[in-house]
Amino acid sequence: MTKTNPARALLRALLDALLPTRCAGCGRQDTPWCRTCAGAFAAPFPVHRPHLPPTTAAAAYTGPARRLVIAAKERNRRDLYPVIAAALVPGVPPARPLTLVPVPSRPAASRRRGGPHMTAIAREVGGRVGLPVAEPLVLGRGARDSVGLGAGERERNLARHLGVRPEALPGTPVVLLDDVLTTGASAVACARALRGHGTKVAAVVVCAAA
């Protein structure tokens, strides 16, 4: 996760609104995501982390893919949500029934972005593959930014502040969706919380893996 100064993020958002649309990956004008940068998502691949169900990433967290995720999250480039959604689609298992569940963001981050970005992206994915989206996972205000935390610290941080809304649990196995996988702590905590309430996590699908 990349830490961004709020004032700088606001300035970038204003500049993005005033200047011509540029490719998030390379800066080319008049397109949010060019064909050349789209090649970063040519070959989804499996990712292995301890204690995770089958996990697929659309790209490595480097180059255009990394710049895409940062632009969407930290510069409020909502026009890039469909790009990330399209990258996630090939990783969604064909088995049915399934429900898509976004990994939650910290409340402060969601407010800064105008709403939980992964929920919006999950709904875009759901519309493309014909699957419902549920939001049973919630992250409390006390959760720390994961920047600078080790894998164990991240997992303990999330375990203390990650909650499950039983009334929002689907009656099907779920696919967890997230933008970036680093240590895997967020996905592990989410999967563990869901399994603790009797919900099977069939897969984890991320846009980019470090």
Residues of the chain where predicted confidence (pLDDT) is lower than 50: 1-2
pLDDT at position 110 is 81
How confident is the model at residue 1, as a pLDDT? 44
Measured CA to CA, the distance from residue 102 to residue 170 in angstroms comes to: 13
pLDDT at residue number 20: 67
Q: What does the angle CA 87 – CA 42 – CA 66 come to, to the nearest 5 degrees?
A: 60
* DSSP track, 112-167: HTTS-HHHHHHHHHHHHHT--B---EEE-TTPPP-TT--HHHHHHHHHHHEEE-GG
Per residue in 170-184, pLDDT (tens digit) is 999 999 999 999 999
pLDDT of residue 121: 98
| Cβ neighbour number for residue 36 with a 10 Å cutoff | 12
Tens of pLDDT, residues 13-44: 666 566 668 999 999 998 999 999 999 999 89
pLDDT score at 107 = 79
Which pLDDT value is given to residue 2? 45
Q: Are 92 and 99 in contact (CB under 8 A)?
A: no
Q: How far is CA 182 from the centre of its chain?
A: 12
